[in-house]
Structure 1
Amino acid sequence: MSEKTTIYDIAKALNITAATVSRALNNNPKISQATKKLVLETAAKMNYKQNKLALALKSGRSNTVGVIVPYIDRNFFSSIIRGIEEELYPLGYHVIICQTHEEEGTEIDNINALLNAQVDGILMSVSKHTTQLDHFDHVLKKGVPLVFFDRKKDIKGVSTVTIDDFEGGYTATKHLIEQGCKRIAHLSGDRSLEIYKHRYEGYKKALEDFGLKVNKDHVVQCKNDIAAGHKAIDKFMKLDHRPDAIFSSSDFLALGAIQQLKKNGIKIPEEFCVVGFSNEPFTKFMELSISSVDQSPVLMGNTAAKVFLEQVKDSNVKIEKKVVLSPKLKIRKSSSRS
């Protein structure tokens, strides 16, 4: 049989009306169990496929949720997606995953495509180049729940699930001070993004609280990759007053820094301590394991999904939640002198 079998074909085969077939397929209580069973068996034999989009248009529910992330191939974001799916799949939801590659235009296209697919909600982490808010307003005007995780914009009516990046930066820097480090550098991501801005502010506050000054030569804003970590160390090596530790806003930067420090014959952690951020899988499996701030991405995904479910439970009640998770510092060889 062709996959294009229709309810009219099933009705003809069973000598009943198309309306009865439709009701049976949609589990209408007016149709007897015997008829439902017969229709479902016949539909299976004839390889009938329901038009999910048509059902969504009719019922107003598609049981699909859109998830938008900057990159799918980053462990942090893939772990968040896992957390979302853990909550939603058992309830019959399917997840459509989109990535923006940090481009605002792609983010807008993703949102429009998801709205056209009649998704029941959109859970997303905002692209670092996003400046407009119109596409978010468009989602809200359509009555589709919108939940930001990790990276967010402050928009009335939109729930957010984030980690306390300030606390993460503060805790990491405090740990380095407790290890005896006096000249702590900071490798920062793009501080136009709140997450990197708050990590930097936590770093500054920890130095201030322990009577240490921020040396502007020790703060470098860089790309989130290994090569940028190499370049930062090369820059520090040329200074008269070199740092003796790094708090990095990224594990990839931290890894690059460690590689270049070793190349320069500097002993870690005896002469130089390093702490990263995100707790990427590689940090614990290296011979010189890297201390890092864990962001609990699976929990973040679980929580974002739960916030979405609260919003769809009663569409007449407007829920706006601001959930902030606590970071956890994982202390390993790269910063442990004790």
Structure 2
Amino acid sequence: MKKGKATIHDIAEKLNITASTVSRALNDNPRISENTKKQVIKMAKQLNYQPNHIASALRSGKSKLIGVLVPTANRNFFSSVVRGIEEIANELDYKVIISQSYEDFEKEVQTVDALLNARVDGIIASIGKNTDTFDHFKKVLDKGIPLILFDRITNELDVSQVVIDDYQGAYEVTRHLIDQGCKRIVHLTSPKKINIYRERLRGYEDALKEAKIPLDPDLVEEGNMQLEDGRISMEKIIRKGVSFDAVFSSSDYAAMGAMQVLREHKISVPDQVKLAGFGNEPFTSFTAPPITTVDQKSIPMGRVTAETFFELLKSENNKKATHKTVLKPELIIRESSLNKS
């Protein structure tokens, strides 16, 4: 055998059969005997044969690959969504290519191009924080390739979307804090061009209005929702000298940063300041005190997103009407936001 990757021709030569027979055997063609299939599979393993998905896609029109683009894979939310996608994809003998944009617009554009070059059958994506033009996604649609957006979406693209009700989740958190007697609630948010943070801010504002609590712009701080951003925002609030009795962060990571700063300033949680986050990251149940948060139903979101993708894939010419699926969030109340009995 020549040096390099094994091909179906190498397998055929070893078994003294035709390459077309090998190809049919590997694709479980009913015209090929079970004995021949077993021999081909055994030889393929011996030669460490790896199928060429691009060549296969060119022949069949299907690569059995789905491109999944996330801002970052090291967050429990995104990794759990991917798990949900893979659960459905694997049941249908599809594989998932996971790519990260790292919140970088140029990286997102390059990754979409790479996925198209890999001949994926479709792309599932969550948009990066710095993305404000969408020509790279329009290119996907122009090629007739299915595109589904989840969590971070845009209304500038006519595609199906899967989200949780960010507005309702934020409203319920804020309402819970108000029910605990809080009237000066800090809100940590991110640039309003991102749909999820815009909706969470709206839920916060409406809960305050409903309770006839005045909106104070001095209590709202923007950041990138990382732990360090939570620290910076909390320090700003304290330096302003404004009074506050609760903090609601649109991110568990920023909530953790805020908690650290409160502790450093000898401000007790929850005795002096109640605290709540958003996302139900695993660490929120292990902090002292455990952090009240909102479960984003990440695995169900992944499964629903994959199901939506496959419905689109099997529809005629991918022309199935687009729709938006909104999942119900769950408020998880923990010690950080509760009055002590």
Give the TM-score normalised by the residue count of structure 1.
0.93
SS at match of 1:181: coil
Once the two structures are TM-superposed, the CA of residue 155 in structure 1 deviates from its matched residue by: 4.2
Q: 2:60 is matched with which residue?
A: 59
Task: Answer yes or no: is 1:105 the counterpart of 2:111.
Answer: no
Kindly indicate whether the alpha-carbon contact (under 8 Å) linking 1:3 and 1:48 is maintained by their aligned counterparts in 2.
no
Kindly indicate whether the alpha-carbon contact (under 8 Å) linking 1:24 and 1:35 is maintained by their aligned counterparts in 2.
yes
Which is worse superposed, 224-233 or 6-15?
6-15
Match of 2:324 among 322, 325, 328: 322
Once the two structures are TM-superposed, the CA of residue 67 in structure 1 deviates from its matched residue by: 0.6
SS at match of 2:57: helix
Task: Answer yes or no: is 1:25 the counterpart of 2:30.
Answer: no
Once the two structures are TM-superposed, the CA of residue 12 in structure 1 deviates from its matched residue by: 4.2
SS at match of 2:257: helix
Q: 2:277 is matched with which residue?
A: 276
1:258-305 Cα offsets, whole Å, 9 max, x none, are 222222222221221111111111111112111111111111111111
User: For the residues of structure 2 that align with 1:303 and 1:270, how far apart are their CA atoms?
Assistant: 40
Identical residues among aligned pairs (%)? 47
Kindly indicate whether the alpha-carbon contact (under 8 Å) linking 1:167 and 1:202 is maintained by their aligned counterparts in 2.
yes
Task: Answer yes or no: is 1:165 the counterpart of 2:166.
Answer: yes
Task: Answer yes or no: is 1:202 the counterpart of 2:213.
Answer: no
The answer for unaligned runs of 5 or more in structure 1 is none
Q: CA 1:264/1:56 → structure 2, altered by over 3 Å: closer, same or farther?
A: same
SS at match of 1:307: helix
Once the two structures are TM-superposed, the CA of residue 47 in structure 1 deviates from its matched residue by: 4.5
User: For the residues of structure 2 that align with 1:292 and 1:138, how far apart are their CA atoms?
Assistant: 38
1:46-94 Cα offsets, whole Å, 9 max, x none, are 5444322211110111111111011111111111111111211122111
SS at match of 1:277: coil
Which is worse superposed, 232-241 or 258-267?
232-241
Which is worse superposed, 36-45 or 69-78?
36-45
Q: CA 1:335/1:41 → structure 2, altered by over 3 Å: closer, same or farther?
A: closer
Q: CA 1:151/1:49 → structure 2, altered by over 3 Å: closer, same or farther?
A: closer
Q: CA 1:144/1:332 → structure 2, altered by over 3 Å: closer, same or farther?
A: same
Once the two structures are TM-superposed, the CA of residue 5 in structure 1 deviates from its matched residue by: 3.9
User: For the residues of structure 1 that align with 2:172 and 2:51, how far apart are their CA atoms?
Assistant: 53
User: For the residues of structure 1 that align with 2:9 and 2:253, how far apart are their CA atoms?
Assistant: 58
Following superposition of structure 1 onto structure 2, how do residues 118-267 of structure 1 map, counting pairs within 5 Å? Answer: 118-267=119-268
Q: CA 1:51/1:336 → structure 2, altered by over 3 Å: closer, same or farther?
A: same
One-letter amino acid of the counterpart of residue 69, structure 1: V
User: For the residues of structure 2 that align with 1:269 and 1:10, how far apart are their CA atoms?
Assistant: 67
Task: Answer yes or no: is 1:71 the counterpart of 2:79.
Answer: no
SS at match of 2:248: strand
Give the TM-score normalised by the residue count of structure 2.
0.92
Once the two structures are TM-superposed, the CA of residue 101 in structure 1 deviates from its matched residue by: 1.1
Q: CA 1:53/1:217 → structure 2, altered by over 3 Å: closer, same or farther?
A: same
User: For the residues of structure 2 that align with 1:39 and 1:237, how far apart are their CA atoms?
Assistant: 70
User: For the residues of structure 1 that align with 2:126 and 2:286, how far apart are their CA atoms?
Assistant: 28
Kindly indicate whether the alpha-carbon contact (under 8 Å) linking 1:69 and 1:77 is maintained by their aligned counterparts in 2.
yes
Equivalenced residue count is: 338
One-letter amino acid of the counterpart of residue 265, structure 2: N
One-letter amino acid of the counterpart of residue 149, structure 2: F
Q: 2:299 is matched with which residue?
A: 298
Once the two structures are TM-superposed, the CA of residue 321 in structure 1 deviates from its matched residue by: 2.1
Match of 1:336 among 332, 335, 338: 338
The answer for unaligned runs of 5 or more in structure 2 is none
